């Protein structure tokens, strides 16, 4: 009985809405009433089938995520999905906001990868171990958190590693840094965190101290936003005299494709890689999670 009433209400609303929208044509007796009714059901069925995904962060001028997903949708012939950028001043009330907007899944970027943790109903084991989330899935009104940064980083880095890349300096201590250190540990690489405020992070060193460790740590990974568009004239590392051809310098930033950090490191003979491949891999992994 309840289903019948809902169906009748839905039918009536659809009919009234489309009758108002198509009133000019109706006055010309151009479209039969039954056609309007059928069009209403088709239109609303399409709206209900639309899957909504997106990226949340404080500032997203640098992001290429929307372009990647839009191209993927076009390539795969996916017409019932959209990907939107959401610049949020905070993540307060995230769950209610997502449910009200009918969002099925989100990616998370700076500075919310750790801030969203207490707002989620469930974390998968890897995300819980890392302590940061960059992928959220809505399941039966509950928010599930995942981390696709760590496996994406590991897969993009692994082919470049040499036997001497056994120790790494990880620049930054945020959510991306946590994913990177988790991935490096999984690859058997020892990590030292580098911070502007090492006193706040046990085991971390200052950038000045890191320069003296560069001879032993031949892998340097930048997880900070220093050098990211639009502030492309910045670099997290300043003393490139300690960089050698045996160094591998990885910058998680993908916009620009080659950061100042990478340019300077390359000028001193180091091998460099930017974050574009990691972006593509984590996006694909997020999509797989949303479709399960």
Please list the active-site residues. 113
Neighbour count for residue 111 (Cβ, 10 Å): 15
202 by Cβ neighbours in 10 Å (0-12 / 13-18 / 19+) ranks as exposed
Dihedral angle of Cα 71, 73, 74, 79, to the nearest 10 degrees: -150
Q: Is the peptide bond before 111 cis (omega within 30 degrees of 0)?
A: yes
Cα(203)–Cα(192) distance, rounded to whole angstroms? 7
- Judged by phi (left if over 0) then psi (alpha if -120 to 50, else beta), residue 141 lies in left
Cis omega (within 30 of 0) for bond into 55: no
120 contacts: CB under 8 Å, gap ≥ 6: 133, 136, 143, 144, 145
Distance CA 170, CA 190 (A): 10
Distance of CA 128 to the CA centre of its chain: 17
- Please tell me the total number of residues recorded for the chain in this structure: 292
Cα(166)–Cα(32) distance, integer angstroms: 74
Cβ–Cβ < 8 Å for 132, 107: no
């Amino acid at each position: 009985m309840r289903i019948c009433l809902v169906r009748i209400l839905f039918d009536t609303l659809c009919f009234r809405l489309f009758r108002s929208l198509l009133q000019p044509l109706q006055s010309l007796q151009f479209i039969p009433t039954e056609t309007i009714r059928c069009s209403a059901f088709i239109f609303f069925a399409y709206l209900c089938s639309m899957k909504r995904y997106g990226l949340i962060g404080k500032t997203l001028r640098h992001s290429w995520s929307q372009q990647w997903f839009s191209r993927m949708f076009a390539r795969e012939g996916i017409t019932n999905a959209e990907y939107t950028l959401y610049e949020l001043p905070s993540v307060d009330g995230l769950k209610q906001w997502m449910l009200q907007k009918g969002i099925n899944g989100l990616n998370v970027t700076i500075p919310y990868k750790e801030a969203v943790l207490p707002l989620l109903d469930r974390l998968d084991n890897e995300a819980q171990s890392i302590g940061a989330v960059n992928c959220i899935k809505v399941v039966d009104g509950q928010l599930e958190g995942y981390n696709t940064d760590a496996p994406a980083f590991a897969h993009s880095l692994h082919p470049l590693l040499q036997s001497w890349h056994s120790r790494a300096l990880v620049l930054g201590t945020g959510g991306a840094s946590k994913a990177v250190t988790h991935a490096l540990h999984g690859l058997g690489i020892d990590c030292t965190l580098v911070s502007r405020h090492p006193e706040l992070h046990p085991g971390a060193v200052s950038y000045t101290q890191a320069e003296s460790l560069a001879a032993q740590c031949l892998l340097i990974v930048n997880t900070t936003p220093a050098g990211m568009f639009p502030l492309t004239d910045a670099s997290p590392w300043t003393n490139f005299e300690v960089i050698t051809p045996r160094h591998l310098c990885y910058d998680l930033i993908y916009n620009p494709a080659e950061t100042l950090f990478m340019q300077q490191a390359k000028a001193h003979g180091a091998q460099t890689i930017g974050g574009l491949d990691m972006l593509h891999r984590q996006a694909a992994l997020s999509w797989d999670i949303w479709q399960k």
